[in-house]
Amino acid sequence: MEAVRPVTGSLLRALNNNPKERIRKQMLLLRRALSTSKQQENTKRTSMFVRNKSSSVNNDRSELDEIRALVSRQEDMLTQLLIKMDRLQKTQGSVVGDIEVENSAKEISIHKNPRGFIDYHRHAEPYRNARQRVRDWSEINTPGHDDPLELKRQAARCMDCGTPFCQTYTGCPVNNLIPEWNELVLNDQWKEAIDRLHKTNNFPEFTGRVCPAPCEGACVAGLVDDSITIKNIEYSIINRAFEEGWVQPRLVPEAKRTGKRIAVVGSGPAGLAAADQLNQMGHSVTVLERDDKFGGLLYYGIPNMKLDKRTVDRRVDLLRKEGIEFKENQNVGVNLDAEELEKDHDALVLCVGSTIPRNLPIPGADLNGVHMAMDFLTANQKDLAFDRNGKLANRWSDEVISAEGKNVVVIGGGDTGTDCIGTSLRHYCKSMVNLELMPRSPNTRDEHINPWPLWPKIFRVDYGHEEANNLFGKDPRSYSVMTTEVLDDGAGNVRAVRTTQVKKKEDGTLAPVPGTEKNIPADLVLLAMGFVGPETTLIEKFGLEQDKLGNIKAEYGEYTTSKDGIFSAGDCRRGQSLVVWAINEGRGVADAVNKYLTK
């Protein structure tokens, strides 16, 4: 064994001088070392047989087998290095330097390491610097994707579990084949990785940016360590796929066309996923959107710093090239007759979202300066335009709800509340306070009431919180706070909000704590308390039944409404939820419609 150790230990040092000749010499030294070890073993074997100590002979034989295996692994690594160097030389037209050789050796070392989940630590791609990104409307994600070697390390941490909870049960709603594309990234098979990703997820460029990653909460590695950076890897796969030109329109052959006509009402993630699936099945699909841009929540609900609208436009353009017809400014029941729509199509799919916001029934809620969060975010997004340098700027039109120079109070947490914080900071607000009714979440998972693999209900710092902390020196959130009144300045405008602390009683209800009343200065109050259901105009026009929560009544997995030929999916059926769940429902309703049309 000693004859091999100096050789293997000096492997990377040998690569620091150049190249191929040194590598070939190293391989020769390995073979000589193996030959020397064989001679030493034969000599020992003869001696042992003379003394009849067969157990020692067996031990030495095992040691020789270990040496052979070690040499074989080292030879394999060196051979792979030579192949990689030849490939790089052909594509770059120059001699590969020390850095390429060293990185190649590291890549092979990562690939060969079955202990990745032990040897490598979680490293998530960071957001852009908080103080810098708050000055613009560009995406908060770091430009480009993470270091390729680091991505391989993160992929190597995946344990390829026997039961991958990340893609089932409480993990990924679209059942992404996560261990499979982690392995493909590890093996540098990026084209195969995007093909595998697209098998289950129509729009990984959306989920890779805005999904909270329930898959990571269900990751088995998270039981004893940090979970795998699944979202980062997904984001990198789809980014590289677009950069390499691998994502191209999938044209449906005319022979596959069924002649069936389907109208999808709503162009959010559920509607787009349904349209994509149905089109690939051969049906003729028309997407109807009441707004002037396609994407629904993706376009006007999620701020540009989380999801660049060019990313949404790019996918819509792809779907249009694949044969899907898109029509904007089509408001069913208002400027588009519902009965005519039914007559002209073989099936209708309603994916209109959950858009009625939860109100705050307190005195002063109707004062000037009090706005629903989505009104604020939508007005801001519609006001954004591209300047001459191709960067996003704000025109500051009369229609925008401006937070510039104002004391802003955001009531309600969650993603929408965070988006209101981030948008207000980019307006250069004077101050920021975020009021949450519920108590602060614990730093770690409570295994008794929130066990793995359920989504961990823990304290998190999102992008808006980090930005506010950087600008104002503290986290903007206050917990267990109930807003009891919005105070008037005497001219019909908001001047402050009155609050009180609350605590949970034994029966689970919240009760005010006497003596904790407080007035918080406010010029702009944004209500971000979620949504209670879909608007009723379309539901009434089609005469559809609603469930007890006001959603369109349709069973999950079936998606059939109370009217034959009309289906429903997404937030208008299940209630407010995640983009990834909308994609899940869009795919599901497409299967249901196809079954209905081909029965």
At residue 86, the pLDDT reads 55
∠ CA 565-206-389, nearest 5°, is: 125
At residue 384, the pLDDT reads 82
How far is it, in rounded angstroms, from Cα 282 to Cα 260? 8
At residue 147, the pLDDT reads 78
Provide the CB-side half-sphere exposure for 157 (13 A, CA).
Answer: 25
Average of per-residue pLDDT across 91-109: 51
Q: Is the pLDDT of residue 75 over 90?
A: no
∠ CA 393-395-401, nearest 5°, is: 105
At residue 73, the pLDDT reads 55
How far is it, in rounded angstroms, from Cα 238 to Cα 315? 12
Q: Give the other-Cβ count within 10 Å of 541's Cβ.
A: 17
Q: Is the pLDDT of residue 69 over 70?
A: no
- Residue 418 or 87, more confident: 418
- Residue 74 or 418, more confident: 418
Residues 174 and 200 sit within 8 Å (Cβ to Cβ): yes
Q: Is the pLDDT of residue 76 over 60?
A: no
What letter does residue 368 receive in the DSSP assignment? Answer: B
How far is it, in rounded angstroms, from Cα 183 to Cα 175? 16
Q: Give the other-Cβ count within 10 Å of 329's Cβ.
A: 11
Provide the CB-side half-sphere exposure for 205 (13 A, CA).
Answer: 20
Q: In whole numbers, what is the pLDDT of the chain averaged over residues?
A: 86
Residues 255 and 240 sit within 8 Å (Cβ to Cβ): no
How far is it, in rounded angstroms, from Cα 98 to Cα 20? 11
What's the pTM value of the predicted model, to 2 decimals?
A: 0.82
List pLDDT tens digits, range 534-543. 999 999 999 9
Q: Is the pLDDT of residue 88 over 70?
A: no
Structure tokens at 64: 């020789």
| Alpha helices, DSSP H, located in 113-222 | 116-119, 130-133, 148-156, 178-186, 190-200, 204-210, 214-217
What's the pLDDT band for 26 if we cut at 50, 70, 90?
Answer: low
Q: Is the pLDDT of residue 21 over 70?
A: no
How far is it, in rounded angstroms, from Cα 202 to Cα 205? 9
What's the pLDDT band for 125 if we cut at 50, 70, 90?
Answer: confident
What's the pLDDT band for 317 if we cut at 50, 70, 90?
Answer: very high
How far is it, in rounded angstroms, from Cα 154 to Cα 219? 13
Phi-psi region of 539 (alpha: psi -120 to 50; beta: other; left: phi over 0): alpha
Label the pairing between strands 494-504 and 510-512: antiparallel
How far is it, in rounded angstroms, from Cα 321 to Cα 236? 25
List pLDDT tens digits, range 256-306. 999 999 999 999 999 999 999 999 999 999 999 999 999 999 999 999 999
Q: Is the pLDDT of residue 46 over 80?
A: no
How far is it, in rounded angstroms, from Cα 292 to Cα 300? 10
At residue 569, the pLDDT reads 98
**% of the chain beyond a pLDDT of 90:** 72
